[in-house]
Structure 1
């Protein structure tokens, strides 16, 4: 299958401006919330023991329609709209069309996302769900936290697993940010378990919603966007072992460069970190 990546970016929607005499000053954005406090305010209301059982019964999968605190969702929406100029678009015929912003760009322009990713409250709660000791992904992994944009008709991603190239397991936390679309997350549970029948499902993830799963176990896709639609999701990747063998690192980097973030983003960042490991 031929693979081809576009390095074009999505332009923000144009806005008709009023004459200067009638211009109203733009509202000052509210300060970013404290990630740990915001997560704790939500997780303390959940029956985590029951959710952990649901996660296990569903083959390492959990969906919550309402997870994030409202102030966190608002901050993520602002960040996602503010990063429209940074989106790298890619097209893989027959499999994928859409845009992405990697953690390397997010670090400089939307630091609250990185703070939320590293939240001890969040990681601790996810450990209770999964039963695993979780670690953040290495600093050179562009997928550690990333935004995914579906903003043009036909944007989608086909059936796939979030394959882990690490020596241990890799868990995906998917958070709904913007959903002005008809896109759905279609999935199939238990496909890796020969003793349990496959179980199909489909959800439309609202802003603030959550999907948490073992990337190697959940077969899933995002259905195509329609005209004049917009969907943005945020994913966090946590690992049980951050080590990766060199040949797997090469495969992972090539996949990220071709299918998601572009060669400049992936390999320039790797070179920079080798020169300045601090």
Structure 2
């Protein structure tokens, strides 16, 4: 009897896994199709040629006034319309909210179009001196909105581990950064460890920070009371293929941002 129940359990577990896998496959295919439509219908000039090719010698570059004022204003308005960031808390490491890629595909196609822009990826490629492309749609962190809006929201020292065969990069574009620190900014400060020193990277709105997260250790200090910091986070890589162990490890990493659903969505 126990043997039969055990066999039944294995069959049911295998069936549930197969069903979840097929569901994920259909979901990702639908999202890829939606992204293809977004690319075709949301073309825009980002005006990035004016920046030239900034130096990337320390695996990090900061570009103030990244987008033309009108383009940034539209992007900001579209992001601020979004609601219901997923809150997460990892004791002694991070606290904050996140709006994931799948939600942006559904509710903010103009933001997805900005990330998928050939002009944007071309700019990143010129800075990095290697061709890069957006990371895949099944990576919830490919494109996300990071929301710091409660006292002590932060993230501790960490690397952005590379879960792909190629090199992996993170681009942060502050949308809102307001509070009672110098210049009217929040106390949530981006720190990067460069050449053995902790360096504060100023993140005024519309200031791009592009870095190789697997090389540059970084953190964000706690937000003060009554402050707000909203960041558009984007990732790209030189080779988006992933080995099985890398894909599994990435899903477990994503549970820190999206909870256990990251294991199957």
TM-score class, shorter: 0.7 to 0.9
Residue 219 of structure 1 pairs with residue 217 of structure 2: yes
The alignment partner of 1:62 has SS state of strand
TM-score (norm 2): 0.78
Q: Look up the match of 1:93.
A: 91
CA separation in 1, counterparts of 2:210 and 2:122?
14
Question: How many residues are matched?
Answer: 218
* 2:252–2:263 CA contact under 8 A, matched in 1: no
Partner of 2:77: 78
Unaligned runs of 5+ in 1: 1-32, 191-197, 270-278
1:154 corresponds, among 132, 152, 155, to 152
**What is the 5 A alignment of 1:234-253?**
234-253=232-251
Which range moves more in the overlay, 73-82 or 237-246?
Answer: 73-82
1:111 pairs with 2:112: no
Once the 2 structures are TM-superposed, how far is the Cα of residue 256 of structure 1 from its aligned partner? 0.6
Once the two structures are TM-superposed, the CA of residue 168 in structure 1 deviates from its matched residue by: 1.2
Q: Distance in 2 between matches of 1:229 and 1:213?
A: 25
Is the 1:172–1:238 Cα contact (8 Å) retained in structure 2? yes
Alpha-carbon separation, structure 1, partners of 2:113 and 2:172: 16
Map Cα deviations across residues 96-119 of structure 1 (whole Å, 9 max, x no partner): 000001110000111111101111
Is 1:55–2:56 an aligned residue pair?
A: yes
Whether the aligned pair in 2 keeps the contact of 1:170 and 1:240 (CA below 8 Å) is yes
Q: Does 1:231 align with 2:229?
A: yes
Taking structure 1 as the reference length, the TM-score comes to 0.74
Shift of 1:233: 0.3
- Answer yes or no: is the 8 Å Cα contact 1:97–1:156 preserved in 2: yes
The residue correspondences of 1:166-177 to structure 2 (distance < 5 A) are 166-177=164-175
Q: Which residue of 2 aligns with 1:126?
A: 124
Q: Which runs of 5+ in 2 are unaligned?
A: 1-40, 179-185
Specify the SS of the correspondent of 1:84.
coil
Aligned mates of 1:174, 1:215 — CA distance in 2: 11
Q: Deviations over 1:4-52 (max 9, x none)?
A: xxxxxxxxxxxxxxxxxxxxxxxxxxxxx96541x2x2x222232xx1x
What is the 5 A alignment of 1:195-210? 198-210=196-208
